[in-house]
Amino acid sequence: MKLIEVAYLLGLRPRPRRYGTVVDEHFLPDGERIEIAHWLHPRAYRAVPSAAILAQLRRFLRPGDVAIDIGAHAGDTALPMALTVGPGGAVIALEPNPYVHPVLAANAALNPGRVRIIPYPFAAMREAGTYQFHYGEPGFCNGGFHEGLSRWRHRSAFTVEVEGRNLAELMAREHPDLLARLRFIKVDTEGFDLAVLETLDAVLAERRPILQVEMFSLKHAPGGYREQLYHFLVQRRYDLFRVDGDRDFFAEAVTPANLLRWQSCDVCCVPEESRATVSGLPAP
């Protein structure tokens, strides 16, 4: 643990700090001009869609499809999803952090007629309510709901109250038309991913979307968490593949033999019956 983290956890914390937003132009690989809102936090990812990630998303997303981005942050993954599915599709983007959600909302409002991003300022939780999220520094860039972990384990001393909703209930109530076209769900919730997927179990069974899921850091996750997440997905007849950044969403098959090889990684999960719809998959 870093000395500054110890100081923060002992109460020697600076005041929260808010960072601004800047909007600039970007040209896609085909030359099309779009506008992108960037959060000025020094640790924030820039929401610039690379040619590589657009190519990877096109391996399984088509115009008119619907995607869900859980833990959307400033929109760095929601935007390339939205560009891939086009204005006839949609991306439901959830980001509860009040320090960064305005940037996501700005990206949702930009490029009308080219993308459709529907931003929500709440977390995907088991039930509606107010929850305390933890972050590691005063700018609130990266954090989440660390269920069952002590502060000395998750090392995040800065707290903020956020609103939570049950996403399956919201989709059924507010977006049944979009739910019928659901093709992809990305979950990045700092170790709460399994709980989120459990709330969506009926959706997974009915719609069978492709999933991108964070395998949370072995250093910070509870013992056995990754194995539990792996078995949840396999029991629902998903094949798992390690995501190699933007370069390859299906770099290699993930199995019990290599599950713990990586300190942290994302996995892309394909329903067994949908393997033929994704190009270039390695053997399971």
Decide which of 226 and 222 is more confident: 226
**Whether the predicted pLDDT of 1 surpasses 80:** no
**Mean pLDDT of the region 144-169:** 88
Lowest-pLDDT choice from 8-12, 114-118, 195-199, 278-282: 8-12
In angstroms, the Cα distances linking 181 to 85, 118, 202 are 11, 15, 15
Q: Give the pair of three-digit tokens for residue 128.
A: 């509606």
When pLDDT is cut at 50, 70 and 90, the band that residue 150 belongs to is confident
**pLDDT at residue 6, as a whole number:** 62
Strand order in the sheet with 122-124: 122-124, 158-165, 129-135, 143-144
Alpha helices (H) along 73-224: 78-85, 101-109, 151-154, 167-174, 176-179, 193-199, 201-207
When pLDDT is cut at 50, 70 and 90, the band that residue 170 belongs to is very high
- pLDDT per residue as tens digits for the range 115-127: 999 999 999 999 9
- pLDDT per residue as tens digits for the range 39-80: 999 999 888 899 999 999 999 999 999 999 999 999 999 999
**pLDDT at residue 2, as a whole number:** 76
**Whether the predicted pLDDT of 280 surpasses 70:** yes
CATH numbers and ranges of domains, the chain: 3-277 (3.40.50.150)
- pLDDT per residue as tens digits for the range 175-194: 999 999 999 999 999 899 99
Average predicted confidence (pLDDT) for the chain: 93
**pLDDT at residue 45, as a whole number:** 84
The conformation of residue 142, written as its DSSP 8-state character, comes to S
When pLDDT is cut at 50, 70 and 90, the band that residue 84 belongs to is very high
Residue pair 77/46 in contact (Cβ under 8 Å)? The answer is no
When pLDDT is cut at 50, 70 and 90, the band that residue 12 belongs to is confident
**pLDDT at residue 46, as a whole number:** 82
**pLDDT at residue 197, as a whole number:** 98
**Which H helix or E strand runs over 212?**
strand 210-215
Decide which of 149 and 179 is more confident: 179
